[in-house]
Structure 1
Amino acid sequence: MEPAYRRVLLKLSGEALMGEESFGIDPAVATQIAKDIREIQEFGVQTGVVIGGGNIFRGLAASAKGMDRATADYMGMLATVMNALALQDALEHVGVTTRVATAIEMRAVAEPFIRRRAVRHLEKGRVVVFAAGTGNPYFTTDTAAALRAMEMKAEVILKGTKVDGIYTADPMLDPHATKFSEISYLKVLEQGLKVMDATAISLCMDNKLPIVVFNLRTPGNLRRVIAGEPIGTKVTA
């Protein structure tokens, strides 16, 4: 197979690691994601991953209940580090050499994010899991994914979700929701579609970085996206 992309940034929500659980990390789900990533690594695709922390702690939800927003966001960043370490463990169990790079220094558990070092890891065939968001409160892990993708010169952001693309409405709630096969950044912003937050979409639009939204829960879907198969929804200019 000739991959359609050579360097990608995979964006995972923290909830992706929960599986059918209501909280935390399901090791079986982490292993399946790791196997999917190994599959594309075997095709020579350089892979960076940004992971959220919503399965453990949501800064926005805590701030809505009265917690200081910056403090809540820092706690959310720590949750992403826990997820990154879990994913690193799952990847190394299936034979994929992995590095965790954090935006907040914690050298005892992971290396600090240094752009040139992270690029070198990718060039050597290692997966790099970027943790702790951007290291700043008020920015989501979606924005961190867009930022890291630019810094790594990724060709695309692959957003793995529990639905198979972008719909006119939430397909879980609205049976009449229809799916887009392709949509522009501007339409996503104008229609307020919940793909990624507006800051992340704007960053991708300004830098002409495409986004592919696909269902991560279907085994083999990541490989299909890499092969250029028309699954999910592509967001471009």
Structure 2
Amino acid sequence: MNKTANFSILNCCYPIPPFDFSVKGVTSISSDVHKYGLAPKGTSVVLYRNHEIRKSSSKLNSALSCHFPVCSVTEWTGGLYVSPTIAGSRPGGLIAGAWAAMMSLGLNGNKFTLNFFGTIEDIPGLYVIGKPDMTVVAFASDVVDIFEVNDIMSSKGWHLNALQRPNSLHICVTLQHTTVYEQFLKDLQDSMDTVKANPGPISGGRAPIYGAAGKMPDRGMVRELLVEFMDSSC
């Protein structure tokens, strides 16, 4: 079992159950320092409970001649090559940037509290999925098409992640939201009211795409559509 976590937030601010190596069954922990650590991308780490698990977790990828997490190449004309990651060497600037960001934030830099859980559910027609332990809140609607709500929110400058099974949206709450969360909730309420009064997709919106993709039983076709979309937009 792998756990992804930001230690500074979990340890300082939220009373949640144990999640680290003290829990039986947790064999690895990954930490994305570029998220709440506000560090440059490319400095994520993965920790293993012990050396044996790290070594045995490798899985052969024949296309890359790599074993995860170790990448080794034996047939290269340049000689034998081995690296602890597929990416190979990392620029020292990234590591220095991560260190500087974490030192600047300190242990108290990420302490903030926003009651998104309760305030979203105060909006008629919306409900929060599950019981978030931390800062990612997913919500859905049993009254309107939530993807149409997302399109209205996008037109107001908010960019939320569209989820499926069930159709829903999620917001990753960060320090930046502490000064704008009231406006976010107001815009969310207004978007709900707009869709209730005028149901149906808006011009240029992506609600029909998400809605249709979620209903397609052939996931291979959905995958092909995603590849075609990426190929035509890059």
The normalised TM-score by structure 1 is 0.25
Larger RCO (CA within 8 A; separation ≥ 6): 1
Bigger Rg, structure 1 or 2? 2
